[in-house]
Structure 1
Amino acid sequence: MQGWAGEIRLGDGVALFHGLAGDQHAHSHHAIQICAGGGIEVTADCGATVGAALAIPADLRHRLAPTSRPVMLAYLDPDSSAGQAVGALLAGRIGTLDDTVGERLAAMQRQAGPLRAWAVAAAAFPVLSPAGGRGPAGTVARVQAVMAAALDEPVWRPRDLARALDLSVDRLGRLFRAESGMQLRSWLKWQRLQAAIGLALNGEDLTRAAHGAGFADQAHLTRTMRATFGISPSSLFDRQRTVSFKPPA
């Protein structure tokens, strides 16, 4: 059975994998997924779809056929502004990106890696680009500052952040959404996933990685990763080589 081998990069509401994708059973996950690499085949209840680059809507049960060639897999939070725009275009069905776009994506991910390929995708498919801030500037930075200052006991809950910033939970959520384009709870989930993956790939066992990232236990981390990406942490960390937390741009 082919295992996962490649590179992961996580950002706020976006994750990228570049490399060999492991064998997969039919599954669903909450993140919207874009697959590129040439000859991508995805099977769902409606049948098989083949293309150079495909987009899979959130929560659609599907199976990505294994390939011997490296692929780029992008996962997008469906509750973000960009995710909502992509989801509206897909309308619950697998979408095929224009052949020219798909070929450009495949070529770029082979030649320059996944970050450059994502830039090509964003240019060709504008709704993938992060939404511009519309709320009072500084809310995200203030949240990040509170989290950075709480090194001994990280702050992962919206109510704790709101208390530290002297705001109501609802008010903080509205300001954060307006500035970042993401729900605060969704953003915090992605932060916890980043932290857990970083800890695990730096040698921590999954229990310590889960606790260090604000999850109740290893099972909680596993459920969250499966629900978001359709894969378990243990299936990645045996083979994964590198990880970076720089957001795609």
Structure 2
Amino acid sequence: MGTSYWRGELWLGPDYGLVQGQLGHTTAHAHYAHQLIIAVGSPVTVELDGVRHSGHCLLIPALQRHAMVQAPDPAFSLYAEPLRIAASDLQRCVEGVEASLPKLQAALEQCPRQPIADPRVERALQALDATLEGKVAATQLAAEAHVSLSQLERLFSRDVGLSVRRLVLWRRLRLAMALVLQGQSMTQAAHGAGFADSAHCSRTLKALFGVSAGQALKTLNPRLLA
């Protein structure tokens, strides 16, 4: 099974993330990010919807349930925000790229970004990010988007792939991780991202990534990218 702790480097960009090092095993989970695992040495084994797959390049689309089963050697794990980067573009933009953090980061920076086609969704997302530190009311997001609450939920289901509530949790977690990488404690980061407490933040991390905050952050050397 290997270790439950992730060890190595974590680089976090505005709409992507990179991990290089020993990838610990996880419980089954599904997160709102495309994930591409690149194994330089021995192949990695991942369970996708209950079926095990092994390989040197494994793509896990957003919201697909999976678990890290075995990663014998250090590997790379790339994460991309699905609203901005398509899964096919994530895989295509790193093909043939040298497996190093600087080279993979450069490739991700050049990866094409998808525009948000519906301006109502764009307005709701901007309002959401502006209110993450406090209470986020779906009715207020709907008002900012100039739609009814039921319309907003339908728009999010169509364009985002998540309910308003689940997207709020995802964005809170992303903000909390950025605050931790800026040097804040887990408690400070949790409050700064609008979580009730650090326990709530840790439960969300466990639910979305299958690992605890201690497993994911304490043994990774972080770097926040501009």
| TM-score for both structures, normalised by structure 1 | 0.64
The aligned residue for residue 94 of structure 1 is none
**C-alpha distance in 2 between matches for 1:236 and 1:171:** 37
- For structure 1, the residue ranges without an aligned partner over 5 or more in a row are 87-96, 123-128
1:58-97 correspondence runs (5 A): 58-68=64-74, 70-74=75-79, 82=86
| Contact kept in structure 1, 2:35 and 2:77, CA below 8 Å | no
**C-alpha distance in 1 between matches for 2:52 and 2:152:** 44
Q: Describe the shift of the 1:111–1:228 C-alpha distance in structure 2 as closer, same or farther (beyond 3 A).
A: closer
1:226 to partner: Cα distance:
1.8
1:40-189 correspondence runs (5 A): 40-44=43-47, 46-47=51-52, 49-51=54-56, 53-56=57-60, 58-68=64-74, 70-74=75-79, 82=86, 104-105=96-97, 107=98, 109-110=99-100, 112-118=102-108, 131-135=114-118, 137=119, 139-141=121-123, 143-144=125-126, 147-148=129-130, 154-163=134-143, 167-175=147-155, 181-183=160-162, 184-189=164-169
Segments ≥4 residues shifted beyond 6 Å: none
| Contact kept in structure 1, 2:6 and 2:21, CA below 8 Å | yes
**C-alpha distance in 2 between matches for 1:102 and 1:131:** 17
**C-alpha distance in 2 between matches for 1:182 and 1:48:** 25
**C-alpha distance in 2 between matches for 1:226 and 1:188:** 16
**C-alpha distance in 2 between matches for 1:50 and 1:72:** 13
| Contact kept in structure 2, 1:147 and 1:155, CA below 8 Å | no
Q: Describe the shift of the 1:157–1:112 C-alpha distance in structure 2 as closer, same or farther (beyond 3 A).
A: same
**C-alpha distance in 2 between matches for 1:38 and 1:198:** 28
The aligned residue for residue 202 of structure 2 is 222
- For structure 2, the residue ranges without an aligned partner over 5 or more in a row are none
The aligned residue for residue 38 of structure 1 is 40
| Contact kept in structure 2, 1:18 and 1:72, CA below 8 Å | yes
Deviation digits for residues 57-88 of structure 1 (CA, Å, limit 9, x no counterpart): 621344141424x52332666x99946x89xx
Q: How many residues align?
A: 214
CA RMSD of aligned residues (A): 3.9
Percent identity for Structure 1 against Structure 2: 24
1:237 to partner: Cα distance:
2.8
**C-alpha distance in 1 between matches for 2:212 and 2:219:** 13
Deviation digits for residues 135-194 of structure 1 (CA, Å, limit 9, x no counterpart): 2x364246425743x59x53434233234556422233445666x645444442332112
Q: Describe the shift of the 1:22–1:155 C-alpha distance in structure 2 as closer, same or farther (beyond 3 A).
A: same
1:242 to 213, 222, 226: 222
Given the alignment of the two structures, is residue 29 of structure 1 paired with residue 38 of structure 2, yes or no? no
| Contact kept in structure 2, 1:33 and 1:76, CA below 8 Å | no
1:6 to partner: Cα distance:
0.8
In structure 2, the residue corresponding to 1:113 is in which secondary structure?
Answer: helix
Q: Describe the shift of the 1:232–1:82 C-alpha distance in structure 2 as closer, same or farther (beyond 3 A).
A: same
